Structure 1
Amino acid sequence: MLDIEDSTETDASPEGRILIVDDDALARFILADQLDALGCRCVDTAADGIEALRQALVRPYELVITDLCMPNMGGQRLLAALRTHGLHMPVVAGTAWREPAAAGTNGAPPDAASLAGFAAVLRKPISIAQLQQLLRAHLGETRFGRDRTAPAAGARRALQAAFCAAWPEDEKALRAALAALDTRAMRERLHRLHGALAVLGEARARRACTQLQQRIAREGLEPHVARIERFMHLCARIGRDSPHG
């Protein structure tokens, strides 16, 4: 399994170093694991744009894959900062089904003008096939031209374990948002969970997450307390009910 916390490869590696930027630790884990399945061994991660910029100023990257909506510095500001510092590696943006309000108007995804300059904008969860196309396009056909298999069952169990490990913090954030009737905080946390549930193949929980985002956007939190509780129950069961869990 790829160690996504700190890469120990040398900068001279012929594979090309990739930087993943996302404030969600599970999202970073999933993307790094997918890149590992495709043969990428030089992968670093950062939790926001500020951390990513610091890393990029001291270590060369051939590709940056960043979430758009993050605290401190989001993907759009990171792209601008990289260019200001004369760094011109391709930067790919990942966006979930619906970005929080800070990314656009009334929770809508950012408009095309605000995404100018990105090498690509992909909807999360980013698939293995999409990642392979990115690697071929930006790191070279010769290095990533061969088809590789998707993560095996063992990798899926590792992703489930990562989701389970992150769930207590997610549940705490959901309950805090519910207690405060903080619609924006609730939608931001649901936004973060949505992509992870899709990658894990948890169709029922993902549908519930999508429906909650839509209903809360229209009607607020109060009418949907019971639905939120049912959704949290679904999430808490992930991994626990696996025959390998």
Structure 2
Amino acid sequence: MSVVTIGLDLAKTVFQVHGVDEAGVTILRRKLARAEIMSFFTKQPACIVGMEACSSAHHWARMLVEIGHTVRLIPPQYVKPYVKRNKTDAADAEAICEATTKPNMRFVPIKTKQQQSILALHRVRSMLVRQRTTTINALRGLLGEYGLIAGKGVRQLATLSQRLSTADETTVPLEAREALQCLFRHIDALTEKLGGMEARIVAWHKSSPESQRLASAPGVGPIKATAIVAAVGDGTQFRSSQLF
């Protein structure tokens, strides 16, 4: 009997494969090094390959689809109930294989390279926003120790910077001034990078009819519209799609 469904547990270096025949009987258990993955699946007859929708899953899905396999990506939380014993790579691969065969299972659409490119822009933008917020909060706390305060918001940073520059050395010692100015420069650099990310996102939005249609809805701008299009594609499986 030939393998009709394979559960593939992804990893950085050593992957686990679990295959069953048409009757659901296990006929394949194997570990594969990363370099062996494509040669192994190239030799396999076309079959259904299930994977958890985690990091690198969309990359491997595209690769396997190119050589004729049908790939099903499953949200990790839907695989967990099928793990029958202590969590191991072999148990995970078996659970993925079983979950893949369930008729009511929800699958994650395979993202294109273009979708993941836009998601990368959004992830970097979110990271820059978090870093800038953290730096601003630290800066406000340090300035407050010298009695320099201002209202909330990024726009108030100019007021804080001016107050620091006009404060004499008896108010803010030289060592503290240098440290605080370093944070101001860091915030400026993060803001510049953030602007670059947003400009790239808006440029892609202008070239995407799907994103422009979404942005026509009240309360939806280019940032939100591009994130939705990149995450869910045509939206046919909206509830199952994830920002992986």
TM-score by length of 1: 0.29
Highest CA radius of gyration, 1 or 2? Answer: 2
TM-score by length of 2: 0.29
